[in-house]
Structure 1
């Protein structure tokens, strides 16, 4: 494969360069071209394109983001394809996908890892160059011995110390989390590429903030809360932080939120547990986390700015609740789909 090739998007007329090692999607975003996308990992299908001329290498032909119908119609995923020579594609673009911070590749060294729950751990890396990203975004990590990059959200905010902090949940039989949890030691180096993601904190919104997290979706929501506090947004509005857990021992997030100014006044932590044995084990809110929004929030749902991250069933239920049942404008709903 050439060190670099030219890619033309017939749909909007943009032309950009793909360097060696990049996918078409990453090349576009690095060039400031707003190709539509979400997960950057082959799962959501948000970056589908048609190949008009030239040849591409399909890095993951079985990626779930493409249906059999898509394949028959000659569609590909920009996040899972690299151009072989100059190509012409037809791909959707939109202004909201133009990155505010251009993603870049760098190396990062693991400084330490600490437990948050029985299956979620904090991993703190120091990058070789900078830690410049928006609250709620994610990075692609290249781990030793693992084929393909893994997407993980940052839990901290941009800083001059070059620190990238991730809260990562162990996935049973997951290659990426096996390396992170069982193989990496302090001082080991990985590849880091970012930032990515469009579900970042909107500092210009005047509305109260609602964060809803499940599992390792804790990371981007904590980043949103930290970013809102750092920007002074909580001086004149509230932040409601919902965490949906399966069992009481899965509940987390309060420790991190307590460190922020305004906890208990402007910042409200609302954990919800779906599975428990008896009232002695858990006396807080129960059921599915999305069902607690209506009961816990004091104003009609269209009056809030929503951010959420978690398992696909949770994000799907929230979309239906907010948009279909309560008419919350799509512009007030921010999430990146991961599978």
Structure 2
């Protein structure tokens, strides 16, 4: 049995135990402690923290998430970190309400209800859980690749109010181990194992600031979940949804989004095309369009979901406009360029 150590988290005065053979983030989940996290693959930096005392080593990670200078200074990614002594770790990002109040991580069996292409490279996958599965708008789950121990992570597009069927929007990549199954490897009725929920980029109930959502590609999914929840709960918060695509052919669910918008008090949907001009759509990268149209970003709560370059550009924009960190929630969707496949 691997040696076990104590982890003290600051400034929240929270302790837990961890085995040398488990990652610190996984150990936290096991004990009902929901630390800030994103991709859980060492790619996004959401779980970046600072080691005040103790010996910690990391598995392979992206230097874009934590560069060599930061590592030398004592920064670590908790999703890739193993403790080899008792440690004191300073959490750089945390939500006190979530730390001990997050939903439990569970594994359930699901059955495929539908597989429908919505663009040339994005597919809607609908699953029926065989037992209850709780989550919050904006969260994601791991789906196990049949016949293996590997999994891929995808965000829920539906809401907890409709637990009988959960929708995922999945981008297909050439050679993707999971996404490749969507063409001919999965069929209605097949079983898939699902574990979760994960993710800290969740809609915060009780907040009143206007909401600005920025998404691209399959990042549509968690934003749809958030919009659907706002509609279901009768929210009166102003909402702007900016969605970035390359061409008009890459846009989807336009009617569904406009129907949702009709149920909200103050809503605007702004599709943005980066490679071609078409119709009444905005032209340019989505972060550039947001900058043109949103002069008071610092007075908004921002939700960002999509590929890392898009999220990084949006984060830089928000930082330039002095948007407080506690008003920004994001989820980077990694791809085969940063992982072994999707």
TM-score range, shorter chain: 0.7 to 0.9
Q: CA deviation at 1:89?
A: 4.5
CA contact (8 A) 1:144 1:179 kept: no
Residues 61, 208 of structure 1: alpha-carbon distance in 2 compared, 3 angstrom cutoff:
closer
Distance 1:82 1:190 in 2: 30
Quick one: which of 325, 331, 339 aligns to 2:326? 331
Query: After superposition, what is the alpha-carbon deviation per residue over 1:92-130, rounded to whole angstroms, capped at 9, x for unaligned?
Result: 443445152122222222111112111111111122322
Distance 2:72 2:86 in 1: 19
Aligned pairs, number: 324
Name 1:106's counterpart in structure 2: 108
Name 1:29's counterpart in structure 2: 29
Q: CA deviation at 1:35?
A: 3.2
1:138 aligns with 2:111: no
Q: CA deviation at 1:263?
A: 5.4
CA contact (8 A) 2:8 2:87 kept: yes
Distance 1:195 1:250 in 2: 28
Quick one: which of 289, 292, 295 aligns to 1:295? 292
Name 1:318's counterpart in structure 2: 314
CA contact (8 A) 1:111 1:126 kept: yes
Distance 1:90 1:189 in 2: 42
Distance 1:264 1:14 in 2: 42
Quick one: which of 154, 157, 163 aligns to 2:156? 154
When normalised by structure 1's length, the TM-score is: 0.81
When normalised by structure 2's length, the TM-score is: 0.81
Distance 1:114 1:329 in 2: 39
Residues 338, 41 of structure 1: alpha-carbon distance in 2 compared, 3 angstrom cutoff:
same
1:308 aligns with 2:304: yes
Distance 2:324 2:73 in 1: 32
Distance 1:148 1:296 in 2: 42
Q: Secondary structure at the match of 2:125?
A: strand
**Structure 2 runs not aligned, ≥5 long:** 335-342
CA contact (8 A) 2:36 2:200 kept: no
CA contact (8 A) 2:110 2:191 kept: yes
CA contact (8 A) 2:214 2:242 kept: yes
Name 2:60's counterpart in structure 1: 61
Q: CA deviation at 1:214?
A: 0.4
Distance 1:186 1:82 in 2: 40
- 143-152 or 282-291, which moves further after superposition? 143-152
Name 1:190's counterpart in structure 2: 192
CA contact (8 A) 2:33 2:102 kept: no
Q: Secondary structure at the match of 2:262?
A: coil
Q: Secondary structure at the match of 1:123?
A: strand
Q: Secondary structure at the match of 2:158?
A: coil
CA contact (8 A) 2:156 2:166 kept: yes
1:15 aligns with 2:1: no
Name 2:337's counterpart in structure 1: none
Q: CA deviation at 1:24?
A: 3.7
Distance 1:283 1:178 in 2: 34
Q: CA deviation at 1:264?
A: 8.5
- 159-168 or 219-228, which moves further after superposition? 159-168
Distance 1:144 1:293 in 2: 40
Q: Secondary structure at the match of 1:33?
A: coil
Q: Secondary structure at the match of 1:129?
A: coil
Name 2:281's counterpart in structure 1: 284
- 248-257 or 150-159, which moves further after superposition? 248-257
Distance 1:190 1:75 in 2: 36
Give me the CA root mean square deviation: 3.3
**Structure 1 runs not aligned, ≥5 long:** none
